[in-house]
Amino acid sequence: MAFWKQLTLSFVAIGAGILLWVWFVPGADGMLRRIGVPESVIARFAPAMQEAAAPGKGSGQAQGGNRRGGGAATLVVVQPVSIATVNDRLSALGTGDAIQSVTVMPQVSGMLSEIAIKSGDRVEKGQVIARLENEEQRIARDQAQVVLKSATEKNQIYTNLKSTVSRIDAFDAAIALEAARLALASAELELKRREIVAPIGGVAGIVTVNPGDNVTTSTAIATLDDRSELLVDFWVPERFAPVIKVGQPLVATAVARPGRLYEGSVAAVDNRIDAASRTLRIRAKIANENDDLRAGMAFTVVMSFDGERYPAVDPLSVQWDSDGSFVWRIIDGKAEKVAVRIIQRNPDAVLVKAALAEGDKVVTEGIQRVRAGRPVEVMGDEAGARGADGEKPVASR
């Protein structure tokens, strides 16, 4: 084949490829403008492709039900834009703890002579829960009482005989009296320390010691839990840090008691984000009026917020070109290209950030033949429900 014929066929193939590209690729006319193609050439290509794309111009399918007159509007299917809310609900898993919890230990070492409570008893603040052997301390207290009595009488005698005793003797008697009082107070304190009392009111845990055991100041006698309210610690993503405040209401559900809801509020918010997990620690307080919750339980905590509102479109309506994602919006029977930024994908909708309002119609089918500013007919509308020959057109996806 001659060279000029090969060159001619090459130009014809390139031209046909460009025509097909303009026909099938949305936004191709804009790309042609960016690469410097004259506007006159683009204007000549685009109408030709629109006319060629119209059903009824070709020979094979021209006799089918998709036949339309040349220059007619493109048939499309649309869906209205709705408004969806994100970040309006938080669900987190936390662990409960008693509002007050104390492990009771003796203040002094010794042998246990009595355990005054048993596991599960409810005790009051200041109640004696155990006693140590105290014979030696009682003797020391009695001796201190005798010494105090002697010092008191001697001081009284010196006070009555001021004229016959020296001032030094009277002063020594007064000092001895004060020392005897202090010695008695010390002996009574040592005796009192042999009694182990509850520092808070609550429910006793399992008692692991018995009378006769030798205990020290590090021996746990019992654990006391005040579970009239429970504290639940949980962690939330850092994006919720600006919106969670102390006192904000919440609802908790115990994993061990599904179906029961416990109302509470935020008791404390940590002052920093954990750098490893990028989460913020929150402490909630929930009521336990019926005493059916225990420290250590797992809880699901749910909080509600105002959230962020975004337009939601059908997943089929989102298209891409060199500028990014976009949708076709129908206004006054014409197509308008609207750039979108995807926020969240759901099975039935895509949340986007775009200049879209609730109720706007975006194209979901027939997208490949839509061009910016060209007239379109919406399937189901009264005006565009049938073609020029009276038959109902069919939109191509």
Domain ranges of the chain: 9-43, 92-99+221-305, 106-215, 309-378
Please give the share of the chain, as a percent, with pLDDT higher than 90: 43
Q: For strand 74-80 and strand 376-378, is the pairing parallel, antiparallel, or unpaired?
A: parallel
Q: Which residues pair with 96 in a beta bridge?
A: 232
pLDDT band at residue 5 under the 50/70/90 scheme: confident
Choices 3.40.47.10, 2.60.40.10, 3.40.50.11860, 2.40.420.20: CATH for 309-378: 2.40.420.20
Scanning the structure block, which residue is given the tokens 């909630």? Answer: 284
Lowest mean pLDDT among 10-24, 64-78, 243-257, 339-353: 64-78
The pLDDT value given to residue 387: 39
The CATH code for residues 92-99+221-305 is: 2.40.30.170
Global pTM reads 0.57
Q: Does the pLDDT value for residue 41 go beyond 50?
A: yes
pLDDT band at residue 384 under the 50/70/90 scheme: very low
Domain 92-99+221-305 matches domain 309-378 at the CATH topology level: no
Phi, psi for residue 204 in degrees, rounded to 5:
-80, 140
Burial-class residue 221 by CB neighbours within 10 Å (0-12, 13-18, 19+).
Answer: buried
The pLDDT value given to residue 246: 93
Tell me the H-state helices in the chain.
3-24, 28-34, 39-53, 135-160, 167-192
